[in-house]
Amino acid sequence: MSAPSYAPAPGHAPDQATARPHTGPTAAELLEFALRTASDPEVIDSLPLDPEGRTWVRLDGPGGSEAWLIGWPPGTGTGWHDHAESRGAFATARGRLTEHSLAVRLPSEGWQSLELAAGHDRSRSLGPGSGRAFGEYHVHEVLNPSAAEHAVSVHAYYPPLPQIRRYSRTGPVLTLEHVERPADWE
């Protein structure tokens, strides 16, 4: 059985009656925090680096947000995922990260597998001092493509992460594999 194809309807906007009121820091404010923190050598140098796996330290984010300092050994990555209802941002402090993302908002529930229409893949390279802000349900993967250099980055999310949904991807087919809750990564 093939997966249903998904492409957004032209001009489709979320139902305003179900939109949540704006509270907490905006994605732009989270990005400003991530960039400022990524430029602080004392904070960046405080992260212990492990040559075998990613390392992380929780930070105090702005306005009740959740923030993390993350170390990326060469060749490591997150796999495809989203941050559910949280908006977020990240900035590279050292090394270079690559983000692959989808330029389409997927339905937040009611599906297990989708076949993505052509033209929705995006890729960007983020070196030291550069960053990225994103909205809710942003599906992406982040990786350190270097074969030799560790990367370090700062990430912030608001509201604090209620869950992370993990996906597998085979060509245009994106499949929801599992959902992680905060207790899974703390």
Distance CA(76)–CA(2), nearest Å, equals 31
The Cα-based distances of 75 to 24, 52, 86, 145, 157 in angstroms read: 34, 10, 27, 5, 24
Distance CA(81)–CA(140), nearest Å, equals 6
Name residue, tokens 């305003």. 16
Q: Is 81 annotated as a binding residue?
A: yes
Q: Is 138 annotated as a binding residue?
A: no
Q: Is 100 annotated as a binding residue?
A: no
Which of 131, 159, 125 has its CA nearest to residue 36? 131
Residues that constitute the known binding site for Fe cation: 81, 83, 140
List residues forming the annotated binding site: 81, 83, 140
